[in-house]
Amino acid sequence: VSLPGWADNEGWDIQAAAGDAPSTQQKRAMLQALLAERFKLTYHRETRQLPVFALSLQNAGRTGPQLRPPSDEATCQPNPNAGATEPTGRTPLESVTQILRDGPCGRVLSGVLPNDRSQAWAGGRRVSLATFAASLGEQTPLERPIVLDRTGLDSLFDIAMLWNPQNQELAANAGDQTGLTFVQALREHLGLRLQRENGPVEVIVVDRVERPTSD
């Protein structure tokens, strides 16, 4: 919030190097220091009421067939050979499950089936619905990219959903496409729905930022 127009319209080449092997958190701190030094960036955080989507159960107390308790025998170590071969499931959903089985736990993964570009997928193993909700704005172009978990379910789940990214709810040619839309897949595979509302969102408010100098 409060970025000047030039910050969206102008670009720079930035070169930076980090010694040793810093962690992700250390890299973020280094990047913040670089922005503060070169762009004189200062900011603070606020919580504001903004338009969001709320993720909730379609029917109280009922989840969909692809929103399941985690398998007890599942290992949470990712397969180092994941992605080396194409999935061989008998159905697209079986192929998605095969892909997710090789992935890490606690993360939402997404992609398109390699043998069918009309089949987009998303899911994860041992994932909270709060994590899943936060990822939805990255999976499909929502006009409200922030999604809040309103399901009331605190457990971890194995999640898999599949939809046709070319099949949009409001597209003029929606009737010409096969497969589910993103919203239909949420409902039919997971038993979930998105509702428009206003909700509390933490935002970064820019107090000061300047164009970098050449020296």
Dist. CA 203–CA 185, nearest whole Å: 30
pTM for the whole thing?
0.73
Burial degree of 212 (CB within 10 A; 0-12, 13-18, 19+): middle
Question: For the segment 11-56, what is each residue's pLDDT rounded down to a tens digit?
Answer: 888 888 888 888 889 999 999 999 999 999 999 999 999 999 999 9
Dist. CA 22–CA 38, nearest whole Å: 21
SS3 204: strand
3-state secondary structure 109-136: EEEECCCCCCCEEEEEEEEEHHHHHHHH
Question: For the segment 169-204, what is each residue's pLDDT rounded down to a tens digit?
Answer: 534 344 455 778 888 999 999 999 999 999 888 899
pLDDT for the residue numbered 158: 94
Question: For the segment 113-130, what is each residue's pLDDT rounded down to a tens digit?
Answer: 887 878 899 999 999 999
Proportion of the chain above pLDDT 90, given as a percent: 51
